[in-house]
Structure 1
Amino acid sequence: MPAPHFDYLAPTTIDEAVAALVKGGKDARVMAGGTDLMVKIRHRALFPKQIISLKKIDGLDAITFDEKSGLTIGATALLADVASDPMIREHYPTVAEAAESTANVQVRNMGTVVGNLCNASPSADNAPTLIALGATVNITGPSGTRSMPLDEFFSGPGMTALKDGEIVTSVFVPTPPAGTGTAYISVSQRGQLDCSAIGLGAKVTMDGNRCTDARIVVGACAPVPLRTKDAEKMLIGQELTDDVIRNAAQKASEETSPIDDVRATAAYRYKVTTVITIRALTDARKMAQRKQ
């Protein structure tokens, strides 16, 4: 079945893209890689009259890192480039792992991290780790630029906090403190050929054996990627023993609100969330101990 007809615009500056989006209104859609957008159009889930591509905007594909401030991933930086970038693999290995876990080679060679976030799927592979690391999104719109924490960006399945005419230009990840370890684990029926039935990002910062900060973010088990804040509180200030990790993992599972769908049942998600939270926190603890 052929895709519906639409006009294709390729602005060369972000200001031109914002102006085109404002002019197009609800009939316009922004495209970074297009791996999610074009599928929806072909399946007739969306009927945009205009597609505004960001590909020709100079600099939006940049990946930059500064040891003092952190990592910036531009809106058109490919998943494959994020997964293979040596700076990311050294300083943010879990960000690279999450990008490499997204879909398959063909999708990673076209899709982008920012596009994956803006699609706002609760199962987005890149969201849990980035939220765990305290990432923010940089946004440009008719009123200028602004930034917001990534964990406030999602408002529901397929919905974000973007206002009319706004475009995410990059995602910023601060430099983790010394003694910080991270982990990302995803579970799906067919590996990378399928969306995650559950995805989980964890971060712990340790001083000796004591946890000074922690984040646990679960994907595909709530309407948005979910921080399990009660479970996090059970870790902070504690010695990260196996018992403490197991109790926090159980609490993390209890904080989720999964549903039955084609990928997994709610009961399965509750049980497996506990299991992979234990694994992720254990892996993050090992990394944190190495980095002290």
Structure 2
Amino acid sequence: MQERLDYRKAHSVEEALTLFQDLPRSRYMAGGTDLLPRARGSGQAPSRLVDIKGIPELSRIEELPSGDLRIGAAVSVAAVAAHPTVRQRFSALSLCASALGSYPLRNRATVVGNICNASPCADTAAALLCLDATVLCVGPAGPRRIPIHEFFVGPGQTSLASGELALAVEIPAASAGGRAELGRLSRRQGVDIATVAVLLSVLPQRSPRHRVALLSVAPTPRRASEAETLLDQRGPSAANAAAEAAMAAARPIDDVRGTAAYRREMVGVLLTRAVRALGAA
């Protein structure tokens, strides 16, 4: 007989942590769009779901006095994609958030949930990697901050410790401005997960200025640092060399959505198109 699932709605961060610790195999939930299907498919359903959607401080997008942007764990992908500050200051994130699935899915899913799922094809992860985001979390040992490049450790795996709750992502003010171009291929246009995706972001206040993030071509979302260096040094004339470097950084596999060879080739094609579209310099 299937074990009964215990559902609890937390109204504060402290309550969420307590509810999680009370019962083994508990899981935090915001949108639930990845968590619930994954739990059913794995046959390892959680014993308790701790819903954090009703925690007020996790439901806000805030511009901090420093100019940094904080996005709470309960903020939907749709809200992030449409937010004026995100669109004006951090266009890479608006672009990637708008590409995630269908509108009903974006209206339910959250940006923090998308990265906590740690899928190699997590759309918002590409932007957060390029923007040098930080994940804010808290757990039994207290609060800590995890740089986004240290957050993904494997397919479906993050560096969050047991019982830790991801509270928000913060994007530094120095990553504001600039331009971005997303190349994304999927089997069904607009509603499917990416077979391969490449994000090129040009950030005038950062080093390297050019940021290249790859999705669905490695165990985790990743940056292509050699391609970034080439574009920084030589601008658009390095498009072909940068494409080769990005292809070399890819570690794709064969699956139902595409072969490893196809994915690797498309990394080069998509980055070349992005460089031309931006006139990256």
TM-score range, shorter chain: over 0.9
Separation (CA, whole Å) in 2 of partners of 1:217 and 1:41: 28
Query: Does 1:244 pair with 2:238?
Result: yes
Query: Does 1:55 pair with 2:49?
Result: no
Letter in 2 for 1:8: Y
Q: With structure 1 as the length reference, what TM-score do the two structures score?
A: 0.89
The aligned counterpart of 2:263 is: 269
Separation (CA, whole Å) in 2 of partners of 1:85 and 1:178: 14
Runs of at least 5 residues in structure 2 that lack an aligned partner in the other structure: none
- Picking from 76, 95, 113, the partner of 1:78 is 76
Separation (CA, whole Å) in 2 of partners of 1:215 and 1:76: 27
**Count of matched residue pairs:** 280
Distance 1:3 1:31, change over 3 A: farther
Query: Does 1:280 pair with 2:274?
Result: yes
Equivalent residues of 1:22, 1:164 under 8 A apart: no
Query: Does 1:167 pair with 2:162?
Result: no
Equivalent residues of 1:28, 1:49 under 8 A apart: yes
1:281 is displaced (CA, Å) by 3.1
Q: What are the residue-to-residue correspondences of 1:93-132 with 2, within 5 Å?
A: 93-132=91-130
Equivalent residues of 1:184, 1:200 under 8 A apart: yes
Separation (CA, whole Å) in 1 of partners of 2:22 and 2:176: 47
1:39 is displaced (CA, Å) by 1.3
Runs of at least 5 residues in structure 1 that lack an aligned partner in the other structure: none
Equivalent residues of 2:39, 2:45 under 8 A apart: yes
Separation (CA, whole Å) in 2 of partners of 1:200 and 1:146: 30
The aligned counterpart of 2:12 is: 13
Query: Does 1:235 pair with 2:234?
Result: no
The aligned counterpart of 1:40 is: 38
State the superposition RMSD in angstroms: 2.2
1:178 is displaced (CA, Å) by 7.4
1:282 is displaced (CA, Å) by 3.5
The aligned counterpart of 2:209 is: 213
Equivalent residues of 1:83, 1:100 under 8 A apart: yes
Deviation sequence 1:30-55 (CA, Å, 0-9, x none): 10100111212343543111001001
Distance 1:14 1:117, change over 3 A: same
Separation (CA, whole Å) in 2 of partners of 1:251 and 1:200: 13
1:84 is displaced (CA, Å) by 1.0
1:123 is displaced (CA, Å) by 0.4
Separation (CA, whole Å) in 1 of partners of 2:2 and 2:215: 31
Separation (CA, whole Å) in 2 of partners of 1:130 and 1:282: 23
Distance 1:5 1:103, change over 3 A: farther
Equivalent residues of 2:92, 2:201 under 8 A apart: no
Query: Does 1:253 pair with 2:247?
Result: yes
Q: With structure 2 as the length reference, what TM-score do the two structures score?
A: 0.92
Equivalent residues of 1:63, 1:73 under 8 A apart: yes
Distance 1:48 1:222, change over 3 A: same
SS in 2 for 1:106: helix
The aligned counterpart of 1:180 is: 178
Identity %: 35
Separation (CA, whole Å) in 2 of partners of 1:20 and 1:212: 43
Query: Does 1:191 pair with 2:189?
Result: yes
Equivalent residues of 1:3, 1:41 under 8 A apart: no
Deviation sequence 1:61-89 (CA, Å, 0-9, x none): 10112484221110000011111111111
1:59 is displaced (CA, Å) by 1.8
